Amino acid sequence: MIECEIIGHHKRLSKDFLSEVFFWAVSEIMPSRRRLDVTISLCHLEKPATGYHWNSDRYTHEIELEKNQSNADLITALFHEMVHVRQTSNSIYSDDNVPYCERPTEIEAYEQQEELYTKWKKSQKAL
């Protein structure tokens, strides 16, 4: 079963809307995943961070997102962190000995966040 709990709030995006975005991302980047438990916390983060991800096992993940972002930036940050969910679910981990911007996991997440956001926007226009 795939579960998503959203804690906190955003000034313009409802929890139901963010849950729909989450499930859309799962269907796009992890379509065969059948077990996943993700908690998304909307909170204040120290700048310049827009989001964080960590996991306790390959099925249980936590994401923190800066709640004072624009709609587009919050959704993009969610997509970025969802790429990390997929990576760690597949036992692909970040090498903290490599500078942040040079880590393959981050390079992929930054590329995918933009692709996912563009694809998601197109899917919304089709509705």
CATH number at residue 78: 3.40.390.30
Determine the average pLDDT of the residues in 93-119.
96
Positive or negative: CA dihedral 11, 65, 14, 125: positive
Say if residue 126's pLDDT is above 80: no
* pLDDT at residue 47, rounded to an integer: 86
Which tokens in the block code for residue 84? 């990390």
**Number of domains composing the chain:** 1
- Provide the whole-model pTM: 0.95
Please name every residue paired with 39 in a beta bridge, in sequence order, or none if there are none: 5, 62
Q: What residues make up the domain containing 101? A: 2-125
Q: CB–CB of 21/50 below 8 Å? A: no
* pLDDT at residue 79, rounded to an integer: 98
* pLDDT at residue 16, rounded to an integer: 96
Backbone angles phi, psi at 92, to 5 degrees: -105, 115
Q: Reduced to 3 states, what is the DSSP secondary structure of residue 61?
A: strand
Q: CB–CB of 36/2 below 8 Å? A: yes
Say if residue 110's pLDDT is above 80: yes
Determine the average pLDDT of the residues in 84-107.
94
pLDDT in tens, 29-73: 999 999 999 999 999 999 899 999 999 998 999 999 999 999 999
Higher pLDDT, 62 or 127: 62
CB count in 10 Å sphere of residue 37: 16
* pLDDT at residue 63, rounded to an integer: 98
**CA 87 to CA 109: how far, in whole Å?**
9
